[in-house]
Amino acid sequence: MKTVIQRVTEASVTINNKIVSKINTGLLILVGIENEDTTEDIDWLTKKIVNLRIFNDENDVMNKSLIDINGEAIVVSQFTLQASTKKGNRPSYIKAAKPEIAIPLYESFVKEFENKLGKPIGTGEFGADMKVSLLNDGPVTILIDSKLRE
């Protein structure tokens, strides 16, 4: 499971010209799911992300987590994170999980993230054409791959 985590001062997801999720200070998290991903990946990633100390403390040092600042989050499924660009110029998405595998894992990720954060979060809509808007704060953008945790 691959994630792109962006610290934001605001973010939103729009589908068919309707805003379906909107947050202020917090994280916009893009999630790419592959066939080999499991609930173990979800547990590890959600714990890692809610506890990442990437928000500034009173001394302007990145020393606070999403939990510490009582921040908000949006989680968006993005199969293109599983792109392979080894051959040619057209990315291959062969590693991206098919919907029958990806949807339950995405839903589990959202539920587990909400449990660890202690409040509801925003989402996109799996498979929809989404317009994601954000104001990256910093900028702070972090990539985490659950297969590279050791």
Q: Which residues are catalytic?
A: 80
* DSSP-assigned states of every residue in 84-109: B-SSSSSPB-TTBPPHHHHHHHHHHH
The number of beta carbons lying within 10 Å of the beta carbon of residue 134 is 18
Token pair of 131, please? 């317009």
At what angle are helices 99-117 and 39-51 packed, to 10 degrees?
40
Measure the CA–CA gap between 101 and 44, rounded to whole angstroms: 19
